[in-house]
């Protein structure tokens, strides 16, 4: 593929192509999770929605009223972003070993 750079054209490799669009629901990104997973504590959650906003896989579940109600482990990759953005005063998400019951 050629892209224009200033007045000249440059060859760049084609990468990151999505060959079959609309497959995100079928791609269970939770299978990528390795050692840890998030554990949500309902009793500590202050419903600030930061985890939902930042989760790259839309794996934070919301109830019918739009409130955080858990984690969809089919899609959670275990990146820990939700635990990082959860306010310190709430500390409602902790990363636990994959084998732990949640
Ligand atoms: S660990 Fe990552 S992928 Fe899983 S719910 Fe948290 S932010 Fe989303
Ligand atoms: S970031 Fe923490 S306190 Fe905020 S909604 Fe998510 S779990 Fe609850």
For position 17, what pLDDT does the model report? 76
The pLDDT tens digits of the residues spanning 5-50 come to: 888 898 887 777 777 888 888 889 999 999 999 999 999 999 999 9
3-state secondary structure 78-99: CCCHHHHHCCCCCCCEEEEECC
Specify the fold of 28-102. Answer: Alpha-Beta Plaits (3.30.70)
Token pair of 102, please?
A: 């949640």
Rg of the chain in Å (alpha carbons):
19
Residue nearest to atom 8 of ligand 2 (CA): 45
Q: Where are the alpha helices (DSSP H) in 1-102?
A: 50-54, 81-85
Q: Is 46:87 a contact under the CB 8 Å cutoff?
A: yes
Residue nearest to atom 6 of ligand 1 (CA): 82
The pLDDT tens digits of the residues spanning 74-99 come to: 999 999 999 999 999 999 999 999 99
- Ordered by start, the domain boundaries in the chain are 28-102
pTM of the entire predicted model: 0.82
């Amino acid at each position: 593929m050629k892209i224009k750079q200033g007045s000249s054209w440059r060859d760049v490799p084609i990468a990151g192509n999505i060959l079959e669009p609309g497959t995100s629901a079928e791609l269970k990104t939770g299978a990528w999770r390795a050692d840890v997973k998030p554990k949500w504590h309902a009793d500590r959650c202050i419903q600030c929605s930061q985890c939902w906003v930042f989760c790259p896989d839309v794996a934070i579940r919301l109830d019918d009223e739009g409130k955080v109600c858990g984690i969809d482990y089919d899609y959670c990759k275990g990146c820990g972003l939700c635990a990082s953005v959860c306010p310190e005063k709430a500390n409602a998400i902790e990363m636990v070993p994959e084998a732990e019951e949640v």
